[in-house]
Structure 1
Amino acid sequence: MTKKGIVLWALLPFFLGGFAQEAYFPPAGGTWEQRNPKESGLDPDALQEAVKFAGEHEYSGPRDLRLAILKGFEREPYHEILGPVKERGGPAGMILKKGYVVASWGDTRRVDMTFSVTKSFLSTVAGLARDKGLLQSTGDRVATYLWDGTFEGEHNGKITWAHLLQQNSDWSGTLWGGHDWADRPPAEGGIDDWKYRPLREPGTVMEYNDVRVNVLAYALTHLWRQPLPTVLKRELMDPIGASTTWRWFGYDHAWTVIDGYRMQSVTGGGHSGGGIFINTEDMARFGLLFLNQGTWDGRQLLSPEWIREATTPSTPNPNYGYMWWLNGGGEREWPGVPETVYYAAGFGGNFIVVAPEEEVVMVLRWLEPSQIGEFVRKVFAALP
């Protein structure tokens, strides 16, 4: 071996494991260690500009989220609030570099609704099931696991777990009183047009639809044979040291019986109330787990293979994976931000942004949603 080859071989552990050795994991219930941005290689003034921007661009909807929800989805036939709702706080957020806090603002321990950020937690529960062998493949038809009629018929019988995770199943039916066609209907037409529309082949058209997301939650509840909050707490949130303050709710009437036990089927968002209620710091822990490829302080909680699969663009929408938004080419791309960035997003401006190459996690609460791209660009302007 040449001298150059020996040097490169000696440096290989640094390139492969340097990040893992340097990464910081906050202790459970302890104080999250902070670093001066300059020590972490960031421009303090530019970073402060991003923080100031977040504070000045609060979500414009009312803090009474019951009003915000009813106003936001007023076009939907039969829409009503069916689960818990909580008045929100003000803007808050955290920016991590290699796990250390380099910036934070607002009340990071206040528990708030997180709306569709819940979807990224839901898809992770599917990943845990896959890692444990409960789910053999996301390409499997759901009907082979759930036989109660939810996935029967010529159309619904074709639907795979991947179709549900990518929101391109076009599942047709009613769950907990919610009709698939009434959720975020097209701008054109009326009830008859929406109700009797031609069904699209599963996997061909992405449509953001909470009824179908709740169908996924229902199917996963039967797959695990346990309430999903119990699974998430045991398999992930406790191991990463999350607080005991987060909750995951379903609709008040969304109950099913498994093995003789009555359990709630949770929602994948807060569209009609419910979903995950959580603080900023626990959201940051979740993002940090993904940044570290499913490893937390030397313990592999979620496989890197699942994270790669979950952040792979779907065929009909290059900006969407398994309930994670991707910054690839597409309508939702953030110009000036690397394509490797991916994020969870929820109504009212709730975000978990993961930048793997930069070893950065950003969590935002109640940022005006249209401003998220500009905020992320400002953070990137602070990076080396």
Structure 2
Amino acid sequence: MRFALCFLLLILAAPVATAQAGFYYPPRGADWETRSPESLGLDEAAIAEAVDFARANEYSGSRDLRRAILEGFEREPYHELLGPVKKRGGPAGLILKNGYVVASWGDTRRVDMTFSVTKSFLSTVAGLAADRGLLRSVDDPVSEYIWDGTFAGEHNSGITWSHLLQQNSDWTGSLWGLHDWADRPPREGGIDDWKHRELRTPGTVMEYNDVRVNVLAYALTHLWRQPLPRVLKEELMDPVGASATWRWFGYDHAWTVVDGLKMQSVTGGGHSGGGIFISAEDMARFGLLFLSDGSWEGEQLLSPGWIEQAVSPSAPNPNYGFMWWLNRPGSRQWEGVPESVYYAAGFGGNFIVVCPEQDLVMVLRWLEPSRIGEFVGKVFEGI
């Protein structure tokens, strides 16, 4: 009886083991193994056309990102650069199929700013906290964990972790000298209108806002009781074999004290400087981890349950999950591309695109942002 039970368990486990074995996981520091598109069922001409398209449609902003940032956010009152900024390189990227590189272009090992792609890394740090029991539920009010006044008051005390992760909290206040109302203000009105606006019930209206994202980073720093770059490095980036070149910065003055230790509270983007500076290859490893449901060579680094939550549409915006963009019906859906596709996106045309049903990951640096849907469509023409 015991032998029969063990044999049955082995049979039931076999499909999972087979699926994992179908992926290639690049070893640390080694050259990434390449395969021809045709060897993995892709049309070589279509993939080449997509790469040519990416090369020909470089982001139109200045390669001097100090200038690009200040011009891009000039409408924001009091906007200034508060953290590190780095001049960017040219167009670069990779296309992975089953983990193998089937196409690459540009300098894929160059470290560049990645802007709001950082948000998808930040939400993953929240997922790691949930997996390890530090965060009991994303539906808990953040005020149950962070009691220093950041989430005090009738409005802010009702904000949950989920509201912050979906950018629909309407958190109000100031952090590191930056006001929530001054970040990406409406086209109409002026400072007095923005200051005294009517607050929306948390969970009802999505508003892209880096101050509130940085509030999430601050809260997670105190939840983990250690710097988030260290958490990301030890829990995820080291296990997936990422290089030693990536960095995660905060504003120069954004420091907090936890357990008597002074540590930087990092940013979830780069429109005032900071955020994650990283290579295309290290971004691809992050995307591949999500493609393989949080597993890397048989080790479960991030739970599939968290990934499912992270890429589920939020109520006020069907195209947005836990800081991942979703190709669902809505204003940001890409024509001719499956609804299962999701992606991280950052200023200047930085993207990590995950296609679960096709076992594809695409990483793009400095593509004109409005052309990303066309690029992905061209890759899908080659399937």
TM-score tier (shorter): over 0.9
2:330 aligned residue: 330
Is 1:149 the counterpart of 2:149? The answer is: yes
2:27 aligned residue: 27
Residues 22, 61 of structure 1: alpha-carbon distance in 2 compared, 3 angstrom cutoff: same
Residues 194, 50 of structure 1: alpha-carbon distance in 2 compared, 3 angstrom cutoff: same
C-alpha separation between the residues in 2 aligned to 1:106 and 1:21?
A: 30
1:226 aligned residue: 226
Superposition pairs for residues 175-194 of structure 1, below 5 Å? 175-194=175-194
Is 1:168 the counterpart of 2:168? The answer is: yes
C-alpha separation between the residues in 2 aligned to 1:330 and 1:133?
A: 34
2:92 aligned residue: 92
| Structure 1 position 21, deviation (Å) | 1.3
2:284 aligned residue: 284
1:3 aligned residue: none
Q: Secondary structure at the match of 1:283?
A: helix
Superposition pairs for residues 29-108 of structure 1, below 5 Å? 29-108=29-108
1:247 aligned residue: 247
C-alpha separation between the residues in 1 aligned to 2:336 and 2:380?
A: 9
Q: Report Cα offsets for 1:130-156 as digits up to 9, x if no partner.
A: 000000000000000000000000000
2:303 aligned residue: 303
C-alpha separation between the residues in 2 aligned to 1:11 and 1:260?
A: 52
The one-letter amino acid of 2:364's match is: L
Is 1:204 the counterpart of 2:204? The answer is: yes
Is 1:314 the counterpart of 2:303? The answer is: no
Q: Secondary structure at the match of 2:194?
A: helix
C-alpha separation between the residues in 1 aligned to 2:336 and 2:177?
A: 43
Between 26-35 and 15-24, the greater mean CA deviation after superposition:
15-24
Q: Secondary structure at the match of 1:38?
A: helix
| Structure 1 position 343, deviation (Å) | 0.1
| Structure 1 position 13, deviation (Å) | 6.7
C-alpha separation between the residues in 1 aligned to 2:137 and 2:146?
A: 15
Q: Secondary structure at the match of 2:231?
A: helix
The one-letter amino acid of 1:262's match is: K
Q: TM-score if structure 1 supplies the norm length?
A: 0.96
Aligned identity (percent) is 75
2:379 aligned residue: 379
Q: Is there any run of 5+ residues in structure 2 with no aligned partner, and where? A: 1-9
1:134 aligned residue: 134
| Structure 1 position 295, deviation (Å) | 0.1
C-alpha separation between the residues in 1 aligned to 2:326 and 2:206?
A: 14
| Structure 1 position 15, deviation (Å) | 5.4
2:125 aligned residue: 125
C-alpha separation between the residues in 2 aligned to 1:85 and 1:103?
A: 29
Residues 52, 286 of structure 1: alpha-carbon distance in 2 compared, 3 angstrom cutoff: same
Q: Secondary structure at the match of 2:357?
A: coil
C-alpha separation between the residues in 2 aligned to 1:285 and 1:266?
A: 21
The one-letter amino acid of 1:73's match is: F
Q: Report Cα offsets for 1:138-196 as digits up to 9, x if no partner.
A: 00000000000000000000000000000000000000011000000001111111110
Q: Secondary structure at the match of 2:40?
A: coil
1:7 aligned residue: none
C-alpha separation between the residues in 2 aligned to 1:257 and 1:12?
A: 49
| Structure 1 position 94, deviation (Å) | 0.2
Is 1:351 the counterpart of 2:346? The answer is: no
C-alpha separation between the residues in 1 aligned to 2:317 and 2:128?
A: 24
C-alpha separation between the residues in 2 aligned to 1:14 and 1:325?
A: 33
Q: CA RMSD in A?
A: 1.3
The one-letter amino acid of 1:106's match is: G
Q: Report Cα offsets for 1:337-377 as digits up to 9, x if no partner.
A: 00000000000000000000000000000000000000000
C-alpha separation between the residues in 1 aligned to 2:299 and 2:180?
A: 40
C-alpha separation between the residues in 2 aligned to 1:19 and 1:93?
A: 26
1:5 aligned residue: none
Q: Secondary structure at the match of 1:216?
A: helix
C-alpha separation between the residues in 2 aligned to 1:11 and 1:60?
A: 54
Q: Report Cα offsets for 1:201-259 as digits up to 9, x if no partner.
A: 00000000000000000000000000000000000000000000000000000000000
2:340 aligned residue: 340
C-alpha separation between the residues in 2 aligned to 1:16 and 1:237?
A: 24
| Structure 1 position 20, deviation (Å) | 1.3
| Structure 1 position 11, deviation (Å) | 9.8
| Structure 1 position 18, deviation (Å) | 3.4
| Structure 1 position 16, deviation (Å) | 4.6
Q: Secondary structure at the match of 2:248?
A: strand
Superposition pairs for residues 253-272 of structure 1, below 5 Å? 253-272=253-272
C-alpha separation between the residues in 2 aligned to 1:21 and 1:233?
A: 25
| Structure 1 position 19, deviation (Å) | 2.8
| Structure 1 position 31, deviation (Å) | 1.0
The one-letter amino acid of 1:165's match is: L
Q: TM-score if structure 2 supplies the norm length?
A: 0.96
Superposition pairs for residues 8-23 of structure 1, below 5 Å? 16-23=16-23
